[in-house]
Amino acid sequence: MKFVQRVSTVFVIFTLIRFSAFAQTPLPSITLPAPIMTKTEYVLPYPGILPDHPLYIFKRIRDRMLDFLIVDPLRKAEFYILQADKRLGMGLVLFDKDKDDVATETIAQGENYFSQAVTVLTTLKNTGKEIPEYLIERLTNASIKHEEVLLGLASSHERVRDSLSLLQKLIDEIKNLQ
């Protein structure tokens, strides 16, 4: 009986100590200035197999089958944005491998996918259907990221400028979607 009393007393004491509040002087709050973001926080997806790989043809076949099978315009636009992001990521990796010709071609394909996404959404809007806000936001963020990456590449690679000019036209069309 005494053992149970002692254990109960110790338990109560530890509980009171654990949940008791102590008065402290407040610490001065330090306000940091808001960081200036120059880079977009939009993350490009992992590109997967690159065009210089022998099995890349199977990836292209799979992507074309998916493109053919997706009938919902919103899902198709999401698919095109994903493909554009993947192609941009592939282009960056290929530039790192010093395969400039394949990289510029891959980036151009990505911008064509981006153009298709904008076209699908423009057609959808013209038919009177509403485009979800998340999709416009994703398209806007993707266009900012694409522009950021292409501006960085355009200074050292002249053939990327064509993709950049196409992207700037698409950004104007995206503003009309909102």
pLDDT in tens, 25-75: 665 555 544 444 456 688 899 999 999 999 999 999 999 999 999 999 999
Task: Output the pLDDT for position 133.
Answer: 92
d(CA 135, CA 24): 49
| Residue in 77, 48, 42, 56 with CA at minimum distance from that of residue 173 | 77
Tell me which of 42 and 117 has the higher pLDDT: 117
Mean pLDDT, the chain, whole residue set: 83
47 CB-contact burial (10 Å; exposed 0-12 / middle 13-18 / buried 19+): buried
Radius of gyration from C-alpha coordinates of the chain: 27
- Asked whether 95 and 153 are in contact (CB, 8 A), the reply is yes
Summarised one tens digit per residue, pLDDT across range 129-155 is 889 999 999 999 999 998 898 888 877
Domains in the chain: boundaries:
55-176
What distance in Å separates the CA atoms of residue 54 and residue 50, rounded to the nearest whole number? Answer: 9
What are the structure tokens assigned to 115, written together?
């153009």
What are residue 116's phi and psi, to 5 degrees?
-65, -40
